[in-house]
Chain A
Amino acid sequence: MNRIAQTFASLKDQNRKALIPFITAGDPHPDVTVHLMHQLVRSGADIIELGVPFSDPMADGPTIQRSSERALKHHVSLNKVLDFVGEFRETNTDTPVVLMGYANPIEAMGYTVFASKARSCGVDGVLIVDYPPEESSEWVKCLDEHGIDAIFLLSPTTPKARIEQVAKLAKGYVYYVSLKGVTGASHLDLENVSQRLKELRQHITIPIGVGFGIRDGSTARAVANVADAVVIGSRIIEEIEHATQDKLLFQVASLLTDLRKAMDEH
Chain B
Amino acid sequence: MSAYDLPSRDGHFGPYGGIFVAETLISALEDLRQKYEYYRTDSEFQAEFAYELKHYVGRPSPIYHAKRWSEHLGGAQILLKREDLNHTGAHKINNTVGQALLARRMGKKRVIAETGAGQHGVASATVAARYGMECVVYMGSEDVKRQATNVYRMKLLGATVIPVESGSRTLKDALNEAMRDWVTNVESTFYIIGTVAGPHPYPMMVRDFQAIIGIEAKTQMIELFGRQPDALIACVGGGSNAIGLFYPYIEDSAVRLIGVEAAGKGIETKQHAATLSTGRPGVLHGNRTYLIQDENGQIIETHSISAGLDYPGVGPEHAWLKDCGRAEYVAITDDEALQAFHDLCRYEGIMPALESSHALAYAAKYAPTLPKDKLLLVNLSGRGDKDMATVAQMSGLSL
Contact = CB atoms under 8 A, between A and B. Distances in A.
A154 B283 contact: no
Contacts of A54: 297-298
A159 B26 CA distance: 10
Nearest to B187: A180
Interface string B23-35: 1101110000000
Contacts of B296: 77-79, 105, 108-109
B3 interface: no
B23 A107 contact: no
B18 interface: yes
- With a 10 A CB-CB cut-off, give which of B18, B167, B172 has the most chain A CB atoms: B167
A182 interface: yes
B361 to A, nearest CB: 30
A72 interface: yes
B293 A162 contact: no
Contact of A104 (B23, B173, B283): B283
Closest 10 CB pairs of A and B: A108-B297, A105-B297, A103-B283, A181-B184, A77-B296, A153-B23, A157-B27, A59-B22, A104-B297, A55-B299
A83 B296 CA distance: 14
A108 B293 contact: yes
Contacts of A177: 23-24
B369 to A, nearest CB: 38
A65 B298 CA distance: 14
Contacts of A153: 22-24
B106 to A, nearest CB: 15
A135 B18 contact: yes
B253 to A, nearest CB: 31
B285 interface: yes
13 contacts: A56-B167, A58-B22, A58-B176, A59-B180, A69-B167, A105-B298, A107-B282, A129-B22, A132-B23, A135-B18, A155-B23, A157-B27, A158-B27
Contacts of B27: 155, 157-159
Nearest to A157: B27
Interface in B218-250: none
B283 A107 contact: yes
Nearest to A60: B180
B23 A152 contact: yes
A58 B180 contact: yes
B297 A130 contact: no
A165 B22 CA distance: 15
B183 interface: yes
Interface of A: 54-59, 61-62, 65, 69, 72, 77-79, 102-109, 129-132, 134-135, 152-155, 157-159, 162, 177, 180-182, 185
A134 B10 contact: yes
Contacts of B10: 134
B284 interface: yes
B180 A55 contact: no
Contacts of B184: 180-182, 185
Given A135-B19, A154-B23, A104 B295 contact: no
A157 B297 contact: no
Contacts of B22: 58-59, 129-130, 132, 153, 155
Contacts of B299: 55-56, 104
A135 B26 contact: no
B179 interface: yes
Nearest to B172: A56
B166 interface: yes
A104 B291 contact: yes
A58 B180 CA distance: 6
Contacts of A102: 283
B49 interface: no
Contact of A130 (B180, B280, B283, B293): B283
A232 to B, nearest CB: 18
A72 B298 contact: yes
Contacts of B186: 157, 180
A92 to B, nearest CB: 26
A162 B286 contact: no
Contacts of B45: none
B21 interface: yes
Contact of B180 (A61, A72, A131): A61
A71 to B, nearest CB: 11
Nearest to B12: A135
B298 A55 contact: yes
Interface in B131-184: 166-167, 172-173, 176, 179-180, 183-184
B20 A135 contact: yes
Contacts of A72: 298
Contacts of A130: 20-22, 283, 286
B19 A182 contact: no
A109 B295 CA distance: 8
B281 interface: yes
A140 B7 CA distance: 24
